[in-house]
Amino acid sequence: MSEPVEKVELKAPDISGYRNGNTAVQYVTTFDSAASGPHVLLTAVVHGNELCGAIALDFLFREKIRPKRGKLTLAFCNVAAYHRFDPNSPSASRFVDEDFNRVWSPDKLDGSNRSVELERARQLRPIVDQADFLLDIHSMQNATAPLMMCGPLEKGRRFAREIGIPPTIVSDEGHAAGRRMRDYGGFGDANSPKNALLVECGQHWEKSSEAVAKESALRFLVALDLVDRSILGKYGYGAAGPQQVIEVTDAVTITADRFTFASDYRGLEVLAKRGTVLGHDGSKPVLTPYDDCVLIMPSRRLTRGQTAVRLGRYVN
């Protein structure tokens, strides 16, 4: 399937004013309360065509949101790709050389390979190493309900419930193509007090993704007691509603030169019967492994080695 053609409702904010920041890394700014507390990191534009995170960080800067304890760091990540964003070709700037969110393993970060994304990840690595908690703000190809990607560990599930939104939490291992930043280091270690979440705020360029990104960022800071809960009322956010968890059991990694879906899946479809053909990897049928199988973020970038779709089921 080709990339869906979507209307671009969002405007990419000018982030050039944040270039120098106040750290040794460009486009990274830390606010230190001088009071004891955690170091909290919020990241945006890991993918250059995902605008809602840049809007959310710009909002935090403009609204002068500052921590009452600990440190708050705001980081624009793949700025080289972001600066290439063109609303007339909005899918083209996801990355420059490779996916920034598949390089967060020691073998890649310490290896000899070079790319725009690897060099930027190496610059940002000390910042990520310092963080106790991370919220990585993303958006999706399809117009799907927002998702909180909490990783495979129970500590991630608990953390997602503490944030309270979005209503759907997805517990998954990530991608065969490489490790995400939210799984890096202590974030992916059950014995570490560090914790991270990745929020998918909705379709890349829908106006609604901006609202989800802003609210998720504020609720994240409230949950960690970096800002007072009263700030939610200031911006019109009421009590969070119920949440449900989808546990991902399988990631369908493409092995052939061609992958096709059996239908125009957009995400969160539930296929009722085990053994249902959901697509073909080359000529090989891909079947659902159990009844009531939920499709998570079916991709439009169907190339060998990449994740076509993740499969999961609702759990209590």
Distance CA(204)–CA(46), nearest Å, equals 13
- What is the second-level CATH architecture of the domain 16-242? 3-Layer(aba) Sandwich (3.40)
* Domain range annotation of the chain: 16-242, 248-315
What is the per-residue pLDDT for 132? Answer: 98
The number of angstroms, rounded, from the C-alpha of 169 to the middle of its chain's C-alpha atoms is 12
| Cα 149 to Cα 196, 246, 251, 281, distances in angstroms | 9, 10, 14, 26
Distance CA(82)–CA(79), nearest Å, equals 5
Tell me, yes or no, if the two domains 16-242 and 248-315 fold the same way. Answer: no
* Per-residue pLDDT tens listing for the chain (316 residues): 344 456 899 999 999 999 999 999 999 999 999 999 999 999 999 999 999 999 999 999 999 999 999 999 999 999 999 999 999 999 999 999 999 999 999 999 999 999 999 999 999 999 999 999 999 999 998 899 999 999 999 999 999 999 999 999 999 998 888 999 999 999 999 999 999 999 999 999 999 999 999 999 999 999 999 999 999 999 999 999 999 999 999 999 999 999 999 999 999 999 999 999 999 999 999 999 999 999 999 998 899 999 999 999 999 7
Q: What are phi and psi of 294, to 5 degrees?
A: -95, 130
- Tell me the longest C-alpha to C-alpha distance in the chain: 60
Element (H, E) at 247: strand 244-253
- The crossing angle, in degrees rounded to 10, of helices 207-223 and 51-62 is 50
HSE value, Cβ hemisphere, 13 Å, CA-based, for 183 = 19
The answer to whether 39 and 70 have CB atoms below 8 angstroms apart is yes
Sheet holding 195-203, edge to edge: 28-32, 71-76, 39-44, 133-140, 195-203, 147-149, 168-171, 244-253, 307-315, 293-296, 270-271
Query: Which class is 248-315 in CATH?
Result: mainly beta
| Cα 84 to Cα 46, 177, 265, distances in angstroms | 13, 24, 29
